[in-house]
Amino acid sequence: MHELTYSTSDEFSLDSLLFHVVGVGKVSSSFARNLARKCPLVRFGYVVSRDIDKSRSLAHELGAEPKSYNDEFVLEGVVLFGYSDSVLVDAPKIVGEKIGSDVIAVHFSGFHPSTIFPKSWNPVSIHPNCAVASYDFDFTRKVFGIEGSEKGLKIAKLLLEKLDAQYFEIRTDAKKIYHLAAVLTSNFPVAFLYLARKLYRELGIDETLIRHILHSLLGSVASNVFEKELQEALTGPVKRGDWEVVEEEGKIFCEHFPEYATIYDTTVLVLKSLLDESRKDLER
C-alpha cells in the first residue's frame, strides 16, 4: 500500500476535466459526492440512469444535467460507471455510441479488470476495500485497489489523492484473485454473524442488543487485526488449545445447523493452519 505522493500536472488538472456519472450506484454516487465536496471547482456534466428521478436527485447535488439513455448526449472527459458486475460487461453496448473521442472510463468493480472496456476508453478500475452500504459513503483514509491504462491510472491516483484516500496497484491479470480476498474478508464473515444471531435470538436477547454484541465482537477483532499479526489477533479456544471446548461446541453447532455441519470443522482446520504456519515461521 502506498501513501499518495503523485504530483498533479497541467495535463490532468481536475479543473480542466468534465466528470459524468453513468449508473447511479452506491459507489459511483458516493465517489461523485466525495469529489464534489473536496474539490468544489470540479465540474460535472451528466448523470445518466434508467431511473430519471435518481438522475435528477444526484444531478441537482452535483450541478449536473440529468439524462436517461434515450436522450441525446456525448460523454467527453472522465466517466464514472456505477453499473453492477453483471451489467458492466455490457457497457460498450449500452453507451458505446455516446462515448466521445477523449474519455477516461472508470469503473468500481473489484471482480472485473479495466480491460472489459475498450482500450480507446483509457479504462481504469478503482475498487474500494470497504463495505459501501450507502449512497454517500465517506472514502477518507479508505484503501483502494487500482489497475488500468497508463492515462487511467494517472487520473485514478490524482482522484484518490484529492479524496484523502490510499491505494495500491494490482496486476490486471490478478483482479479476480484480489476480489476473492476481499470477499473472504468482508462478505463471508456476515454468514457467521447470521448464524450467531440465530443463537442469540434463541437465548431471547433483544435485537438491538444483538447488533451491539456483534458490532463489539467484530470491531474488537478488526482492531486486533490492525494492530497485531493474524496469529496474535486470534483469540478463543482454538488459539488456547482448549480442544474439549472445541469438540463440545462442534457438537452444539451440528445440532443447531446440521445443514452446515462441515463448516465448523473446516473453520477449525483453517485456524489450526494459521497457528501452525506461524509456529513454523518462528522456527526458521
| Whether residues 103 and 162 fall in one domain | yes
| Whether residues 140 and 39 fall in one domain | yes
Query: Are 30 and 137 contacting, i.e. CB atoms less than 8 angstroms apart?
Result: yes
Where residue 164 falls (left for φ over 0; alpha for ψ -120 to 50; beta otherwise) is: left
pLDDT band at 12 (very low <50, low <70, confident <90, very high): low
Q: What does the pLDDT look like over 205-240, one tens digit per residue? A: 999 999 999 999 999 999 999 999 999 999 999 999
- Burial (Cβ within 10 Å: 0-12, 13-18, ≥19) of residue 81: buried
> Between the CA of residue 138 and those of 38, 60, 165, what are the distances in Å?
11, 19, 10
pLDDT at 151 over 70: yes
Q: What is the DSSP string of 1-17?
A: -B---PPP-GGG-GGG-
Residue 202 CA to residue 196 CA, distance in Å, equals: 10
pLDDT band at 7 (very low <50, low <70, confident <90, very high): very low
| Whether residues 157 and 260 fall in one domain | no
Percent of the chain with pLDDT over 70: 95
Q: Is residue 20 part of a domain?
A: yes
Q: Which domain holds residue 88?
A: 10-174
Amino acid at 18: L
Can you give the CATH number for the domain in which 69 is found?
Answer: 3.40.50.720
Nearest to 253 by CA among 190, 198, 187: 198
Amino acid at 99: I
pLDDT at 282: 74
* Positions of E strands within 68-158: 75-81, 99-107, 124-128, 143-148
pTM across the whole model: 0.86
Task: State how beta strands 143-148 and 124-128 pair.
Answer: antiparallel
Q: Is residue 41 part of a domain?
A: yes
* Mean pLDDT over each residue of the chain, to the nearest integer: 93
pLDDT band at 4 (very low <50, low <70, confident <90, very high): very low
pLDDT band at 2 (very low <50, low <70, confident <90, very high): very low
| Whether residues 167 and 193 fall in one domain | no
Cell numbers given for 156: 485514478
- Burial (Cβ within 10 Å: 0-12, 13-18, ≥19) of residue 210: middle
| Whether residues 154 and 253 fall in one domain | no
Cell numbers given for 185: 474478508
pLDDT at 16: 85
Q: What is the mean pLDDT of residues 122-128?
A: 98
Query: Are 264 and 255 contacting, i.e. CB atoms less than 8 angstroms apart?
Result: no
| Whether residues 143 and 254 fall in one domain | no
Q: Is residue 1 part of a domain?
A: no
Q: Is residue 5 part of a domain?
A: no
| Whether residues 64 and 147 fall in one domain | yes
Q: What is the mean pLDDT of residues 64-79?
A: 96
| Whether residues 109 and 206 fall in one domain | no
In the listed set 139, 174, 209, which residue is the last one of a domain according to the structure?
174
| Whether residues 190 and 161 fall in one domain | no
Q: What is the mean pLDDT of residues 139-163?
A: 96
In the listed set 131, 153, 174, which residue is the last one of a domain according to the structure?
174
| Whether residues 99 and 198 fall in one domain | no
Q: How many domains does the chain have?
A: 2
Q: What is the mean pLDDT of residues 144-169?
A: 96
| Whether residues 169 and 189 fall in one domain | no
Cell numbers given for 65: 444535467
> Between the CA of residue 80 and those of 138, 147, 264, 277, 280, what are the distances in Å?
17, 15, 42, 42, 46
Q: Is residue 65 part of a domain?
A: yes
pLDDT at 3: 40
Buried b (16+ CB within 10 A) or exposed e, 86-98: eebeebeebbeeb
pLDDT at 9: 42
In the listed set 110, 143, 174, which residue is the last one of a domain according to the structure?
174
pLDDT band at 279 (very low <50, low <70, confident <90, very high): confident
Can you give the CATH number for the domain in which 262 is found?
Answer: 1.10.1040.20
Q: Is residue 4 part of a domain?
A: no
Q: Is residue 113 part of a domain?
A: yes
First to last CA, the chain: 27
Q: Is residue 3 part of a domain?
A: no
Residue 68 CA to residue 22 CA, distance in Å, equals: 10
pLDDT band at 10 (very low <50, low <70, confident <90, very high): very low
| Whether residues 234 and 274 fall in one domain | yes
pLDDT at 84 over 90: yes
